[in-house]
Structures are given as structure tokens and as C-alpha cells.
Amino acid sequence: MVHGVPKTLGFDKTPLVEYFQHKYPGKIYNVVVPMDLCALDDLATELVKVRENISKLVEKIELRGLADEGEDVDGYTGEESGFRDRLRFLWRRVKDLWYRAAHELGFSDEERLRKLQELRADLEMEMAAYKEGRARGAGVAFVVFKDVYTANKAVQDFRNEKRRRIGRFFSLMELQLQRNQWKVERAPLASDIYWNHLGSSKVSLKIRRVLVNTCLLLMLLFFSSPLAVISAIQSAARIVNAEAIDNAQMWLTWLQSSSWIAT
């Protein structure tokens, strides 16, 4: 399991495959570069929100058009129109001026709808890239060797190279693969990997680790101590009760065997 590989290898892993085949010829079974499922999850969530906003905005524009048709009145004709008709006509003119100003400044509903539609098109193109296998990788690669010995040797080789990294020069291929940022370790079982978190950044993973450890520590402090006290009290009560029963049984046996009671 190799951490720190370029995310562009998600749709073209050929350089990585060639590197490992050159380093361990005839020993590579397969190289798997998973897609960034964390980004895919965020992309799907954002696409759903954009589609909902477009639907709401289209409905708003249609309702506004129906309202304008219902409020459609003739122009001002002087004394023949009443005061109410004049107010409606002025309000209509103010609304028209407001919509024109908003349109010129780029704040109109139509402009927002156009931007949302462009954003939806971009998100759908990115989603199509995931479906076609052309999406960015998660920055992690799984190298499958043909035997366990070579796998253990590869992990040990990369760990030793990491210790002797100072003063070492990398080839052009290694620089393209960001070889100096790799972290190599034995991969866990596929069932033990939370695939949606493979694309998370190191900062987010550290923050999550700190939060989880803090929550566990607080739970231990506030929940384990009372439980321990209660368990100790229960154990002490059982011991006391057992001793009391034993003492009572001893006294009863002594009384039954006593000659004074017998007489």
C-alpha cells in the first residue's frame, strides 16, 4: 500500500506500473489505483443541491411570470383610472426598473439560473469522468506481488530508502511519481479499509484522529470511573453478605450443638 502517489494516476497508472516492474521485474501481479471516492461523495452531494436550487429558481421565475400576467393593466390614461390603478401601474414600473437594474448588475434570477446550469453541466461532466474511469485517484496505490517474500522485501526496501533519503537523488520518473512523498506499508484486508476516506487529506485525517481520541478519552473519564465504583460497591456487598451468612451459619451450628439449648 503506497500513500502519496499523484492523484493524476487515477486515469493513467502506466508510469507507476512501469516503475514497479522495473524495480521488481517479473514479480508484479497487478497495480490498483482507486478513485477518490471522498471527492465523489462530495460531488454527488453538490450536484443534488444544484439541481434542487435550479428547480426552485425555475419555479420562482414561472410564478413571477404568472403574477405579472395577473397584474397586467393598461397604461395610465389620466383621470379615467382610479387611484388604485395608478398605484398598481407605478408598482409595476418600479418592479420593471428593479429587474432591469438587477439584470444589468448580474443579480437577476435569470443570471443566477444561467450560472447554476453551467455549474450543473460541469458537475455532470465530472460525474461522467468517474463513470468512465477517467477521474482523479485517491493518492493511494495498491501493489499486488506474485509472492509474499517479494512483498515483504519491497516494504523493507522502501522503509530503508526512507531512512537514507538525505542526499539521495531521484530519477525523472521518481520525481514525476513524487517518490519523496511516498509512505509504503503492508495493506490491510479490503474489508478493513474504509474506501470513502482514502482521498482525504492528511490534515483532515489528523483532525479526525484527534477528535476521536479526545472523545474516547472523555468517555473513559466520565463513564468508566462511575462504573468501576459501582462494580466495586457491588463486589463489596457480595463479600459482606457472604461473610454475614457464614457467621450466621456458624452461630446456628454452635447453638444446635450446645448442651444448654439441648436441655
The residues pairing with 141 across neighbouring beta strands, listed in sequence order, are 2
* Same-domain pairing of 114 and 81: yes
* Same-domain pairing of 100 and 111: yes
Q: Which of 104, 131, 158 is the last residue of a domain?
A: 131
The CA distance from 190 to 204, in Å, is: 22
* Same-domain pairing of 239 and 180: no
The CA distance from 143 to 157, in Å, is: 14
The CA distance from 145 to 114, in Å, is: 51
Cell of 250: 456458624
What is the pairing mode between strands 28-32 and 183-184? unpaired
Q: What is the pLDDT of residues 49-62, one digit of tens each?
A: 999 999 988 888 78
Q: Which of 105, 131, 157 is the last residue of a domain?
A: 131
Q: What is the pLDDT of residue 49?
A: 93
Q: What is the pLDDT of residues 128-185, one digit of tens each?
A: 888 887 788 888 888 999 888 988 888 888 888 776 666 566 777 777 888 888 888 8
By the 8 A CB rule, do 52 and 37 touch?
A: no
* Same-domain pairing of 243 and 219: yes
* Same-domain pairing of 25 and 95: no
* Same-domain pairing of 44 and 125: yes
Q: In this model, does residue 250 exceed pLDDT 80?
A: no
Q: In this model, does residue 9 exceed pLDDT 60?
A: yes
* Same-domain pairing of 235 and 218: yes
* Grid cell 463489596 in the structure block, residue: 236
- Whether the model clears a pTM of 0.75, i.e. scores above it, the answer is no
* Same-domain pairing of 78 and 151: no
Of residues 183 and 221, more confidently modeled: 183
Q: What is the pLDDT of residue 140?
A: 87
Q: What is the pLDDT of residue 238?
A: 59
Mean confidence (pLDDT) of the chain:
75
Q: Which of 131, 146, 180 is the last residue of a domain?
A: 131
* Same-domain pairing of 108 and 154: no
Full domain range(s) for residue 256: 202-263
* Same-domain pairing of 55 and 79: yes
Residue 167 — left, alpha, or beta (φ > 0 → left; ψ -120 to 50 → alpha)?
left
Across the range 26-50, mean pLDDT stands at 88
* Same-domain pairing of 143 and 15: yes
**SS (HEC) of the chain:** CEECCCHHHHCCCHHHHHHHHHHCCCCEEEEECCECHHHHHHHHHHHHHHHHHHHHHHHHHHHHHHHHHHCCCCCCCHHHCCHHHHHHHHHHHHHHHHHHHHHHHCCCHHHHHHHHHHHHHHHHHHHHHHHCCCCCECCEEEEEECCHHHHHHHHHHHHHHHHCCCCCCCCHHHHHCCHHHCEECCCCCHHHCCHHHCCCCHHHHHHHHHHHHHHHHHHHHHHHHHHHHHHHHHHHHHHHHHHHHHHHHHHHHHHHHCHHHHC
For the chain, the domain total comes to: 3
By the 8 A CB rule, do 141 and 4 touch?
A: no
* Same-domain pairing of 32 and 144: yes
The CA distance from 163 to 73, in Å, is: 83
